[in-house]
Each structure stands twice: as C-alpha cells, then as structure tokens.
C-alpha cells in the first residue's frame, strides 16, 4: 500500500460512529477528535444490520444517554430501529458531534510507530500504561474515502476502536467438500445481505418461497417472522428454522407479575451472584446463596414454559435460564411469533450438523429439507474485523492469555499501548456501559487518574473471566450482566466517584440501576 508524504496529525482518533463511537466522541470532544465512519451515516448496526421489524431489546429507560433522555412517546412498546436511529441522530445534533465525523471513510490499515519495537513494549509488564511517547503520535491510520484509490494517512497519540463485534464480516459455517452453497440450486445469503434489501425486494425474496433460516437467536427469530408474514394465505410456504442450540426467549420483562429488574438489575439482586475481587466472607455468602440463584433461574423457566409453547415445539433449552442471561443471549420474542407457528407458517428442525444438497439441505440423520432460499443467521466475525486492521504482534494478542479479549474496565487491552476498544464486552444495556466506559476513558486520557501496571490489569481481567466461566458455558461471548453494577462500582471508584449512586439505602438496594444513575460528577 502506497503511503502519502503528508500525514495529518491529531491527538485522538476514533474508528466507528455507532453507539459506542458516539459515546466516545461526546466524552472526548474537547480534544477535537477525528472520527472515521465507513458508511454514510451514524448508527452502526442499527443502520446496517436491522430488519424492518427490528426493535430494541432493552427497556427504553436503560438505553439512553445520561444527559439526553428519550423524547416522550405514546407507544409503550420497545422502540423500533428507526426510532433508535432518530434518537442517535438527535443526540449527535444536540451535542454538535457530526462536525467531527468523516463519513464514507474506511480504515484500511493501522500501524504502530513508537520509538521502540512492539515486542519490547509487550515484554515490559511493569510499564505504566500511556508512558510511551507522551505528547507524540504512536499510531498511524490509513483511510480510503468514497472508495477511491487514494490513501490518506493520519497519526494519533491515542486511538479508540469502536467497530464492534457485529456487522461487516459475516460468520459463514464450514461445509464438507462438495457440500457447500455452490451445489445448491436456490439462493443463499447471510442476514447481512438481507438487511440491505428494500422492503419490496425482501418481500419478493420470501413470498411463495420455501425458506430455511439457520439459527435461533434474535436475528433468526425476527427473520422467520418476516418470512411468515410474507407468506400468508393458502399459497404461502412455511419458513423452517434450522436450530443447533436453543436459547431462552422472553415475551416481555415481567415474570409471574414481577418486574424483571428485581431479579438481576438491583444491587440486592446482584448480591447473590459472584463478582470479581470479592472477599472471603462474600465468597462464602455466595456459596450459601447458590440455591437461591438456582431457584431464580427455575422461577424464570417456569413462567416461560407456562407462557410460551416451548415444550410443544421442542424448544425448551438444554441449559438453565441464568446461563443465557449471563452471556447476553436472552432475546425478546416478537408478539406474533408463536401464533404464526400455530398456523404452520413457522416450523422447527433441530440439527447439530447440516450441509447443502441440490434441492436444499441435508442433515446428519439422513433427512433432507427442500428449500428455494437459505438465509444464514449465523452471526458475525468480530475478531476478524479487528485482525484485518491491527498490525502484528497486537492482533495475535487479542485473546491472550485467556482465549477471551482481555479488556481492563471493558476498554483497555493491557498489551496494546495507547489504544482503547469500546463495544466489545456486552452487558444488559450496551449503550449505558459504553457511555460509562467512555467517561472513564476521557478522564484517563486527561490524566485525572493512573492505571495499574500491565500485570495487575491482566489479573483483574482474569478474575472477571473466571466469574463468567463459573456462570455460563457461553462465557466466550464476554458479558458482564450478572455483575454489571459491580463493574460500574469499580469504574466509579477508579475515577474518584462515589460508587453508590442512589439517594437513599432503600433505593440503593431495590431500585434498578440505569444510565441516569451515572450522571457525570463535577
């Protein structure tokens, strides 16, 4: 790749203008950052990976910026993706953020340019974070604008990566030789491509067709419902969901008449879950309260098995409810999903292994499924997005040493100097955690507190990952939902804030924690 002689230099660079990118931009705007956004608009996955039916999964009050509440709306349901995009646009306009964003500008390469070799920096585990070249650029970023061949280089003292784990690069299953999509006579596409279709094109793709949707997470469920709605009437064909792992879904955030937050989103409820850095007394108490954790999970499951026809359709998961909540895989079920299944418009096929044949799909039990269209709702390759732009040896260290990306305070990789990552560790409200981490990052860059050394940061992350491993088999999804309040406490304490954010002890114990509890302190 050719390098231009002129390099534009700035203190802060931000890659991505999705939810995390906007949160980082707002908190770092006093540094006049340069923001690169590959698309023509803000919003990230809300813009590029949403269907017409896509809605917010969190309660609206949990998905708002601390200084910018949602406008009043009469509809009590979850906001649609278009409403979320409007909210984000209003937030960016209100805070005059758009002037910092370079749209249609794709980052194609990132290069480390310190005065020492990367191997020296990585080997020095006692180095104070951020001590490298104070006040001087350490990262060079190459960008292409409007898909032109010209490359513009920028240099930054600090780089914030906000491209997230979703979108851009689809996760495609591996198939046996001569049993991949190439032998199928119909059409194969990933949900990433389906999201780009206009309404009429999407309806034409699905209507009157035998459609197979691979997966059973939120995108697959929404897509199956869209397929069913496009195939109403006697001429309509059923949509078949091919499912490897079944996950728990909830119809709403009320369980046997009780609000969902009582079980997971208050300080008292999180007291029964393990957390990092707990003392011996707290460890013993968690052990004694483990039957209560099990009972709460069973309580949730009893309601869902009563409310939804999971047994009827063979959709009862093989693992406890708590494991899906702890790995941020719990999805809100669309209201009309099972009514369409009752009409025969959505059918289900359990299969751990499958491959293509000329007429559709073949399964390990030797059965086949005829299909005209196969849509892969198989997720995205977030790791590849990072390795495509990060240089060696850093991209090889993304999951060292635990097999999960070790981000201190969900933001800093201890082995990657002068770089932050936002949007990679999930919680029960990703906007809220991204904003809190952005506040923390801004104060770090402004030298309002100091980080521990690399060894201590890695130790802290290892403790968090151990808690995840003990809570769910899906720990590699890297979710902090069962100890999110503790996560916020530790961030607050490191910034010098009071970690208890409520007005009184009763509220502290039993009211839910949300974005408005973390209004920035003067």
Predicted confidence at residue 57, as pLDDT, reads 85
Residue 138 in 3-state DSSP?
A: coil
Residue among 244, 218, 236, 230 nearest 334 (CA): 218
481-520 residue pLDDT tens? 999 999 999 999 999 999 999 989 999 999 999 888 898 7
Residue 145 has pLDDT above 70, yes or no: yes
The shares of helix, strand and coil residues in the chain, as percent rounded to the nearest 5, are 35, 20, 45
- Residue 189 · residue 371 · CB < 8 Å: no
Predicted confidence at residue 73, as pLDDT, reads 67
Predicted confidence at residue 127, as pLDDT, reads 35
Dihedral of CA 78/82/87/92: which sign?
positive
133-143 residue pLDDT tens? 455 678 999 99
Predicted confidence at residue 74, as pLDDT, reads 63
Residue among 309, 329, 351 nearest 217 (CA): 329
Give the Cα separation of 56 and 34 in Å (integer). 29
Give the Cα separation of 50 and 232 in Å (integer). 23
281-297 residue pLDDT tens? 888 888 888 899 999 99
pTM: 0.92
Residue 119 has pLDDT above 50, yes or no: no
- Residue 263 · residue 235 · CB < 8 Å: no
Residue among 74, 75, 58, 47 nearest 515 (CA): 58
Q: What is the mean pLDDT of residues 113-128?
A: 46
- The share of the chain scoring above pLDDT 70, in percent, equals 93
Q: How confident is the model at residue 76 (pLDDT cuts 50, 70, 90)?
A: low
Predicted confidence at residue 112, as pLDDT, reads 92
- The residues facing 69 across adjacent strands are none
Residue that has been written with the tokens 């609000």 in this structure: 259
Predicted confidence at residue 150, as pLDDT, reads 87
Residue that has been written with the tokens 């869209």 in this structure: 226
């Amino acid at each position: 790749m050719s390098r231009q002689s002129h390099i534009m230099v700035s203190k802060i660079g931000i890659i991505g203008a999705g939810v995390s990118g906007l949160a980082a931009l707002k908190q770092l705007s006093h540094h006049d950052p340069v923001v690169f956004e590959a698309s023509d608009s803000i919003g990230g996955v809300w813009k590029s990976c949403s269907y017409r039916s896509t809605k917010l999964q969190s309660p609206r009050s949990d998905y708002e910026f601390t200084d910018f509440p949602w406008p009043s709306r009469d509809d009590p349901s979850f906001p649609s993706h278009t409403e979320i995009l409007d909210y984000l646009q209003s937030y960016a306009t209100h805070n005059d953020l758009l002037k910092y964003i370079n749209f249609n500008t794709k980052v194609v390469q990132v290069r480390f340019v310190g005065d020492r070799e990367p191997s020296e920096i990585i080997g020095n585990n006692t180095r104070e974070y951020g001590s490298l070249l104070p006040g001087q650029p350490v990262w060079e970023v190459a960008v292409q604008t409007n898909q032109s061949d010209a490359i513009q280089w920028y240099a930054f003292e600090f780089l914030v990566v906000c491209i997230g784990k979703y979108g851009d690069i689809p996760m495609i299953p591996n198939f046996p030789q001569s049993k991949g999509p190439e032998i199928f006579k119909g059409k194969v596409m990933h949900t990433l491509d389906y999201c780009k279709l206009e309404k009429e094109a999407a309806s034409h793709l699905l209507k009157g067709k035998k459609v197979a949707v691979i997966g059973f997470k939120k995108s697959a469920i929404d897509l199956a419902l869209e397929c069913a709605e496009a195939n109403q009437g006697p001429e309509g064909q059923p949509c078949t969901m091919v499912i490897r792992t079944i996950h728990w879904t909830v119809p709403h955030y009320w369980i046997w008449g009780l609000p969902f937050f009582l079980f997971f989103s208050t300080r008292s409820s999180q007291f029964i879950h393990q957390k990092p850095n707990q003392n011996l007394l707290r460890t013993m108490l968690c052990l004694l309260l483990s039957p209560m954790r099990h009972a709460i999970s069973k309580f949730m499951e009893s309601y869902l098995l009563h409310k939804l026809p999971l047994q009827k359709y063979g959709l009862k998961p093989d693992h406890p409810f708590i494991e899906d909540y702890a790995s941020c895989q719990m999805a809100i079920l669309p209201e009309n999903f099972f009514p369409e299944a009752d009409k025969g418009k959505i059918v289900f096929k359990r299969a751990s292994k499958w491959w293509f044949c000329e007429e559709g799909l073949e399964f390990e039990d030797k059965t086949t499924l005829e299909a005209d269209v196969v849509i892969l709702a198989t997720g995205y390759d977030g790791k590849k997005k990072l390795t495509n732009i990060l240089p060696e040896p850093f991209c090889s260290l993304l999951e060292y040493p635990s097999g999960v990306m070790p981000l201190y305070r969900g933001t800093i990789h201890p082995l990657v100097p002068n770089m932050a990552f936002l949007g990679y560790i999930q919680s029960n409200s990703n906007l809220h955690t991204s904003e809190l981490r952005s506040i923390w990052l801004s104060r770090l860059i402004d030298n309002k507190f100091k980080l521990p050394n690399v060894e201590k940061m890695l130790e802290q992350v290892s403790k968090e990952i151990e808690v995840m491993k003990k809570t769910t088999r899906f720990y590699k999804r890297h979710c902090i939902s069962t100890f999110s309040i503790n996560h916020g406490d530790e961030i607050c304490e490191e910034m010098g804030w009071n970690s208890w954010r409520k007005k009184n002890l009763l509220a502290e114990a039993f009211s839910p924690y949300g974005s408005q509890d973390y209004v920035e302190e003067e």
